[in-house]
Amino acid sequence: MSSREGEFKKRRRDNFPRSQKRDEMGSNVDSSSSVIIAFKSFQHELDTRHDKYERLVKLGRDITIESKRTIFLLHRVTSTPNKDEVLTESEAKLDAVRQKIKQVAQELVGEDMYQYHRAFTPGLQEYVEAVTFQNFIKTSTLVSIEDINKQLIFKEDFEKVLDATSSNSLDGPLSDLEDKQPSHPHVWSLQVTPVDYLLGVADLTGELMRLCIGSVGNGDIDTPFELSQFLREIFDGFSYIGNTGPYEISRKLYALKQSLAKVENACYTLKVRGSEIPKHMLADVFSSKGELIEHDEGIS
């Protein structure tokens, strides 16, 4: 008997559509209530933050893509006779990347950067990798985080605004535009964090290892010894961090160790068997030995 009553009650509830129930509940809600107004403001704030986060994710992807293209371009220095031409072209590409970073800085005006940091941190790490790679090709040194951040301070003064509008038709005389001249230029900045810098430098070691193999393949037997010393200094610096740094450091440190081992193996082969192996076959020998090193270390 009780089961039948339960089925009867269930059927009676199902006779009323849910949309009708929601309409009845909505009609009883006072839209001018302070609680409803507060929740609507929360909804607007959350939607605004979500939209900004998605825009920053897209900008971060663009920064990553353009930085990778810059790195691929810089690897051409091993095969082209005109090194300065490659560096000039790479600088133009990095300027385009900085314009994307400027847009990120403009999005973060008045915001806490660390609330949105995960959206664009892969792009900043890739940018650090590209900048440090270019600087090493130029000077054989590691650029500091302070020098990188100096390039990420953007100013836009009245003269630039005037140049941008000079090609367009002005509604009023030039004096009207000059009356609107700001007293101070607009300044935006986005500072690379120490973690972004360290992770970018750790990724740099992989590019240096590829530069070493590419240099040997083109008959350059001096670059591997320079890279070996440079990578050893970077590895020693990361060793001081140990387990006190971010969790990504330990994973990057393992890859750094593999890159160092490949370069040191290249230097050993050049020193011991360099005269026996033809120059055009050295790159293949190093690649095969690098695969053996990875197999011995348990890398699949």
Q: What is the pLDDT of residues 227-266, one digit of tens each?
A: 888 999 998 888 887 667 677 887 888 888 888 888 888 7
- Residue 73 token pair: 């371009």
Question: Is residue 260 classed exposed, middle or buried when 0-12, 13-18 and 19+ CB atoms within 10 A define those classes?
Answer: buried
> In whole numbers, what is the pLDDT of the chain averaged over residues?
77
Q: Tell whether 294 is covered by a domain.
A: yes
Cα separation, 246 vs 255, in Å, equals 15
Q: Tell whether 283 is covered by a domain.
A: yes
Least confident range of 103-107, 171-175, 203-207, 237-241: 171-175
Q: Tell whether 3 is covered by a domain.
A: no
Do residues 300 and 207 both lie within one domain?
A: yes
How sure is the predictor about 281, in pLDDT bands with cuts at 50, 70 and 90?
low
Least confident range of 75-79, 150-154, 173-177, 282-286: 173-177
Q: pLDDT tens for residues 97-140?
A: 999 999 999 999 888 888 999 999 999 999 999 999 999 999 98
- Residue 101 token pair: 């970073």
Q: Tell whether 261 is covered by a domain.
A: yes
287, pLDDT greater than 70? no
Do residues 210 and 269 both lie within one domain?
A: yes
Contacts of 163 (CB under 8 A, 6+ apart): none
Q: pLDDT tens for residues 6-59?
A: 554 555 555 555 555 555 555 566 777 888 778 888 888 888 889 999 999 999
How much is the pLDDT for 57? 95
Q: Are 290 and 264 in contact (CB under 8 A)?
A: no
Do residues 86 and 102 both lie within one domain?
A: yes
The tally of domains found in the chain comes to 3
286, pLDDT greater than 70? no
* 175-184, 252-261, 269-278, range with greatest mean pLDDT: 252-261
Q: Percent of the chain, pLDDT > 90?
A: 35
Q: Are 282 and 269 in contact (CB under 8 A)?
A: yes
221 compared with 275, residue with greater pLDDT: 221
Looking at residue 51, which CATH number applies to its domain? 1.20.58.190
Do residues 105 and 135 both lie within one domain?
A: yes
Do residues 245 and 173 both lie within one domain?
A: no
Q: Tell whether 36 is covered by a domain.
A: no
Q: Tell whether 90 is covered by a domain.
A: yes
Do residues 139 and 199 both lie within one domain?
A: no
Cα separation, 185 vs 81, in Å, equals 43
Domain range for 164 is 153-189
Angle at 210 between CA 207 and CA 211, to 5 degrees: 85
How much is the pLDDT for 238? 86
Do residues 96 and 174 both lie within one domain?
A: no
Choosing from 112, 145, 178, the residue where a domain stops is 145
Long-range CB pairs of 104-109, under 8 A, 24+ apart, other chains included: 104/56, 104/59, 104/60, 104/63, 104/190, 105/152, 105/154, 105/188, 105/189, 105/190, 106/188, 107/52, 107/55, 107/56, 107/59, 108/56, 108/190, 109/188
Do residues 179 and 139 both lie within one domain?
A: no
Do residues 243 and 167 both lie within one domain?
A: no
Do residues 185 and 198 both lie within one domain?
A: no
Q: Tell whether 94 is covered by a domain.
A: yes
How sure is the predictor about 74, in pLDDT bands with cuts at 50, 70 and 90?
very high
Q: Tell whether 219 is covered by a domain.
A: yes
Cα separation, 77 vs 59, in Å, equals 28
Contacts of 156 (CB under 8 A, 6+ apart): 185, 186
Looking at residue 202, which CATH number applies to its domain? 1.20.58.200
